């Protein structure tokens, strides 16, 4: 029996630490797996965004002789933040709910002056002028105060096809959408893609014919990956 005990002791490693050496690499393996998972996720996101980027490049960056864009391209694009939006009836509208369609956005107070009314009318006309692509574009008015639009204007804007009207903190919007130098946030129409990326700003007092051309380019360039409806 003593000989058996002696043999068992001789079979044990001299250094007890050696019994746990095989566990030392576990954190490194876990870290490698986490890093690999993140890389795969980024790769998937890149693949999803590739058609969007390609359409912008094709129509606004690598353009044939004589082709120009009227609106200012936003490079890099700026993602829709988690804005707190409130509909006119007081219900909460998640900002993410705006995704899935091209958006033509205007910003301003509820007391809509002549310039404001012109932009709102232009939004409506531009959408209709897109013809069969009009259902791929939504009109959005972000109100920067707690007031309500005049009833005749509200009735016109909420008739079919209705405009999305929501109240939002002006400072929060100004951290996302920005005017050109020397202009106010309220002076422009802003174009947001279906992924929620602000990608173009139209000039103040914009020419609707030239804005229409840009929108038509966007509709053509995104025809392969964007469809009407959310």
44 and 101 part of one domain: no
Residue 19 pLDDT > 50? no
Which range marks the domain in which residue 125 is found? Answer: 72-221
Cβ neighbours of residue 183 under 8 Å, at least 6 residues apart? 204
DSSP-based three-state secondary structure for 81: coil
Select from 49, 68, 87 the last residue of a domain. 68
Handedness of CA 44, 45, 51, 53 (dihedral sign): negative
Q: Once rounded to an integer, what is the mean pLDDT over residues 15-43?
A: 56
Residue 230 placed within a domain:
no
Q: What is the pLDDT of residue 163?
A: 93
For tokens 């174009």, name the residue: 191
Select from 68, 98, 119 the last residue of a domain. 68
Least confident of 30-44, 71-85, 206-220: 30-44
Q: What total number of domains does the chain contain? A: 2
Q: What is the pLDDT of residue 18?
A: 45
Strand partners, 105: 140, 190
Residue 227 placed within a domain:
no
50 and 155 part of one domain: no
121 and 186 part of one domain: yes
Task: Assign residue 192 the CATH number of its domain.
Answer: 3.40.30.10
- Between 91 and 47, where is the model more confident? 91
What does the DSSP assignment read for 174-225? HTTS-PPTTS-GGG--EEE-TTSEEEEEPPTT--HHHHHHHHHHHHHHTTTT
76 and 63 part of one domain: no
Q: Please tell me the pTM assigned to this model.
A: 0.73
5 and 54 part of one domain: yes
64 and 85 part of one domain: no
C-alpha 216/C-alpha 94 separation (Å) is 28
202 and 138 part of one domain: yes
88 and 18 part of one domain: no
What is the rounded radius of gyration, in angstroms, for the C-alpha atoms of the chain?
28
108 and 132 part of one domain: yes
Residue 127 placed within a domain:
yes
DSSP-based three-state secondary structure for 108: strand
Select from 68, 87, 120 the last residue of a domain. 68
Handedness of CA 125, 128, 134, 138 (dihedral sign): positive
77 and 57 part of one domain: no
Q: How confident is the model at residue 223 (pLDDT cuts 50, 70, 90)?
A: confident
Residue 21 pLDDT > 50? no
């Amino acid at each position: 029996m003593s000989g058996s005990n002696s043999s068992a002791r001789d079979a044990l490693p001299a250094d007890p630490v050696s019994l746990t050496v095989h566990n030392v690499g576990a954190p490194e393996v876990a870290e490698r797996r986490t890093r690999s998972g993140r890389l795969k996720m980024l790769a998937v996101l890149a693949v999803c965004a590739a058609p969007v980027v390609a359409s912008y490049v094709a129509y606004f960056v690598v353009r044939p002789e004589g082709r120009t864009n009227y609106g200012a391209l936003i490079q890099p694009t700026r993602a829709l933040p988690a804005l707190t939006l409130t509909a006119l009836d007081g219900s909460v509208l998640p900002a993410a709910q705006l995704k899935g369609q091209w958006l033509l956005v205007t910003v301003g107070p509820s007391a809509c002056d002549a310039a404001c009314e012109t932009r709102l009318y232009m939004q409506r006309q531009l959408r209709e002028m897109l013809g069969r692509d009009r259902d791929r574009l939504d009109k959005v008015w972000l109100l920067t105060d707690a007031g309500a639009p005049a009833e005749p204007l509200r009735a016109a804007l909420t008739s079919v096809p209705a405009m999305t009207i929501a109240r939002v903190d002006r400072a929060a919007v100004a951290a996302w959408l920005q005017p050109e130098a020397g202009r106010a946030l309220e002076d422009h129409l802003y174009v947001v893609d279906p992924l929620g990326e602000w990608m173009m700003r139209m000039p103040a007092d914009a020419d609707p014919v030239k804005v229409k051309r840009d929108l038509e380019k966007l509709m053509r360039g995104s025809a392969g990956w964007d469809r009407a409806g959310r």
